[in-house]
Amino acid sequence: METPGQFKRTLTPIMLWGLGVGYVISGMYFGWNLGLPMGGTGGMAVATLLVIGLYITFTFGYAELACAIPKAGGVFDYAAAALGPKWAFVAGWAQIIEFVFAPPAIAAAIGAYLHLFFPLMPVVALAVAAVCWRSLTTLFMGGL
């Protein structure tokens, strides 16, 4: 039961799974396909281990910041507390730019992946269809 001042849980396990799959598909398409021929198996193994370390430290650091500074401003509030308002402005804009460009990049990767199964359809049309499908399922079915 929800009491005043509590957050409402909106993400379901299926929604989190969908986000993870989107990230993996985009990472596989844009990362592995471009990096494997250049770095080889050993180079990609080193890069993978480095990225695992970076993501673990990022995740724990972000979790600590979220508990220490429980505000809805994200990286803006964290930078404001640590570096002041001018750098917070820069950090906030960097986060906004990331939020604007990441979804189209993921959609493009999903469109390119689906293009393998539907070669007669253009990648952009498949990317738009994936975005529309995700939007409609979130709106009507809670994110399936």
Name the range with the highest mean pLDDT among 31-35, 85-89, 132-136. Answer: 85-89
138 and 122 in contact (C-beta within 8 Å)? no
Q: Which of the four pLDDT bands, split at 50, 70 and 90, describes residue 86?
A: very high
**Does 59 fall in a domain?**
yes
Q: Which of the four pLDDT bands, split at 50, 70 and 90, describes residue 27?
A: low
Q: Which of 48, 70, 92 is the last residue in one of the domains?
A: 70
**Does 24 fall in a domain?**
no
**Does 101 fall in a domain?**
yes
Q: Is residue 115 over pLDDT 80?
A: yes
pLDDT value at residue 135: 81
The domain in which residue 46 lies consists of 40-70
Kindly report the number of other CB atoms within 10 A of residue 76's CB atom. Answer: 21
Same domain, 57 and 107: no
Q: How many CA atoms lie within 13 A of 88 on its CB side?
A: 12
**Does 30 fall in a domain?**
no
pLDDT value at residue 137: 80
The torsion angles phi and psi of 116, rounded to 5 degrees, stand at: -65, -35
Nearest C-alpha neighbor of 35 from the set 51, 56, 18: 51
**Does 14 fall in a domain?**
no
Number of domains in the chain: 2
Structure tokens belonging to residue 135: 């939007």
Name the range with the highest mean pLDDT among 5-9, 58-62, 93-97, 109-113. Answer: 93-97
Q: Is residue 51 over pLDDT 70?
A: yes
Summarised one tens digit per residue, pLDDT across range 66-84 is 899 988 888 999 999 999 9
Same domain, 93 and 142: yes
Same domain, 104 and 51: no
137 and 143 in contact (C-beta within 8 Å)? yes
Same domain, 102 and 57: no
**Does 12 fall in a domain?**
no
**Does 51 fall in a domain?**
yes
**Does 55 fall in a domain?**
yes
Q: Which of the four pLDDT bands, split at 50, 70 and 90, describes residue 25?
A: low
Distance (Å, whole) CA 51 – CA 21: 18
What pTM value is reported for the model? 0.60
Q: Is residue 126 over pLDDT 90?
A: yes
Same domain, 88 and 141: yes
